[in-house]
Amino acid sequence: MLDCIVLGAGISGLSTAYYLRKLGVKRIAVLEKGKIGGKIGTVREDGFIVEKGPNGFLDNKPFALELVKELGMEEELYPSSDEARHRFLLVDGRLVEIPLTPKDFFSSSVLSLQGKLEVLKEPFVRRFPPFLDPSVGEFCERRLGAEMVERLIDPMVAGVYGGRAYRLSMKSAFPLLWRLEQRYGSLVRALLGLKRERRLKGGPAGPGGRLVSLKKGLFSIIEGLCERLKGEVVLAAGCEVEGVKVLPGHFVVKTRELTFVSRSLVVSTPAYEAARMLEDYPVREALSSIPYVPMVVVALGYERKKIKCPLNGFGFLVPEREGRKILGCLWDSRIFPNRAPSGYELFRVMLGGARSPELFELSDEELADLAVSEISDILNIEGSPDFVKLFRYERAIPQYTVGHEKRLEAIESFLVKFPGLFLNSNAYRGVALNDCVGNSKVIASKVAGFLS
C-alpha cells in the first residue's frame, strides 16, 4: 500500500509531492491525466520564449521564491524589468498609464473629476460588517465609486481571474484587501498605516511586489521539481483517474488500466474533476458549484520596426466600455527582455474570460485574426506578425464567486469525516502560483501529521 497518492501534476500536485518527500513521507505516487505541469508550460521556439499560461510570480510572498531556491535554481531567477512597473489602461481608445502615486492619480485621465471626488470619500465610508460577503464590485463601488469599478477594478479582475467584478467575492478573491479594510476601517487608512509600520519596522509597504520568473521560462520550476522527485516518487503522466473510493483506513484510486491503494489521498485536480472522481459522495455538489471561465492566449511576435507605439511597460488592460473583444495584452518581451530575439517584441493577448466566453467557440484562425486586428489598432502596428502561437483553456481559472466561503465550509465539513483525504489546488484558497505553493506546503504537513 502507498502512503500517499497525489492526483494531478500541476504546480499544486508536484509541490505537494516535493514537500511530502521533504517531510520524510516515502511511498508516494503522482497520477496525471495529461502533461506534467498543468497550466504551467513554456514553448521555446524561433528564439521566442512563450508562456502558455502564467508568466511569473510576485516576490511579496515567500513561497514560490523559497521553492526555487530549495530546488537549487536561484541562479535561474529572472526579475521583471524596472519598466514593467508601468501598466496601462485603454481609455477612449488611447493608452493611459495607471497612476501609482496619489499625485499622479489626481492628474491622470483614468477617471473623470467626479470619479476622483468619489475616491476622496473612501476614508469616511463605513467598514463592511464582517459577516457579509459582498462582490468585489459592490465592495469597491461603495468604497471608491462606480466609475472606479467600471474603469479600473473590473479590468483588473479580468486581468487576474478572467472574471467580473460584480460576480467575484471580495473576501475570497482579494482576502488581503478585505482584511485590511476590516482592520483599518478603510483602504486609504490601511495604506497609510502600512506605510507607517514600514517606517518603524521595515518591510514592504503594501500588497505590491515585483514579478519574477526564470530565465528559460516558468516551466523550469516544473523541470526542477521533476528532477528532484526522480527515483523518489512514482510520477505517471497520461494516467487519467476515473474514480476514487474512500474505504475505512485506505483509499482506492482507479485509472483505466490500474488500481492504486494508499493510506492518504491529495486531490490536486481542478474542482470539477474532483467532483467527478468523488461523485458518490455528498461533497460533489460544493465542488461542482465552483465555476471556471474559458481563456485564450494568443502570443504574437513582431519585428520591432513594425510597431509605431512606444512600449515602455507591462502591458494594458481593456475596460468593457471600450467595446473591444480583447481583455488585455501583456508586453512579455518588455517584462522579461529575453522572451523575444533581438530586434523583435513578444506580446500575449488575452481573450474570453467571464466577459466574453462565447469567443471560445471561434476557430484558432479567427481568434488570432481578432487579436492581431485589435492590437494593430491600439499599438499602431504596421504589417502582420512574424510569430503566432495560440493556447486554449476551456476551463482556465476557477472563479471565487460570492458564496465561495460557504462552499469551502461545506467541503471542510465533508473532509473532517474522512481523515487522510485532502483537496489542494487553485480552486480553493488562491489562484496565484505563490498561493498554490504555500497551500501545498500546509497540506503536505497535514498529510505527514496524519501518517505519523
User: By CB under 6 A, which span of 42-50, 103-111, 268-276, 315-323 interacts with ligand FAD?
Assistant: 268-276
Give the CA distances from residue 166 to residues 134, 155, 280, 316, in Å, rounded to whole numbers and listed in that order. Answer: 9, 12, 33, 21
Is 399 a binder of ligand FAD (CB under 6 A)? no
Number of shown-chain residues binding ligand FAD (CB under 6 A): 36
Is 346 a binder of ligand FAD (CB under 6 A)? no
Is 240 a binder of ligand FAD (CB under 6 A)? yes
Residues 128-147 that bind ligand FAD (CB under 6 A): none
Binds ligand FAD (CB under 6 A): choice among 169, 264, 268, 401: 268
Is 156 a binder of ligand FAD (CB under 6 A)? no
Is 294 a binder of ligand FAD (CB under 6 A)? no
Identity of residue 176:
L
Q: Which helix (H) or strand (E) holds 253?
A: strand 250-255
Binds ligand FAD (CB under 6 A): choice among 25, 110, 278, 431: 431
Euclidean distance between CA atoms 250 and 8, whole angstroms: 19
- Closer residue to ligand FAD (CB): 61 or 143: 61
- Closer residue to ligand FAD (CB): 294 or 385: 294
C-alpha cell at 140: 469597491
The least CB distance from residue 255 to ligand FAD, in Å, is 8
Residues 405-424 that bind ligand FAD (CB under 6 A): none
**Residues shown for the chain:** 452
Residues ≥6 apart with Cβ < 8 Å to 300: 346, 347, 348, 349, 368, 371, 372, 375, 385, 387, 388
- Closer residue to ligand FAD (CB): 115 or 430: 430
Binds ligand FAD (CB under 6 A): choice among 4, 6, 25, 53: 53
Is 99 a binder of ligand FAD (CB under 6 A)? no
Euclidean distance between CA atoms 452 and 383, whole angstroms: 63
Euclidean distance between CA atoms 444 and 411, whole angstroms: 18
Strand partners, 244: 253
Is 393 a binder of ligand FAD (CB under 6 A)? yes
Euclidean distance between CA atoms 423 and 426, whole angstroms: 10
User: What sections of 202-277 are H helices per DSSP?
Assistant: 219-229, 271-277
Interface with ligand FAD by CB under 6 A: which residues?
7-13, 31-34, 38-40, 53-57, 240-241, 268-270, 273, 295, 297, 393, 396-397, 425-426, 431-433, 436
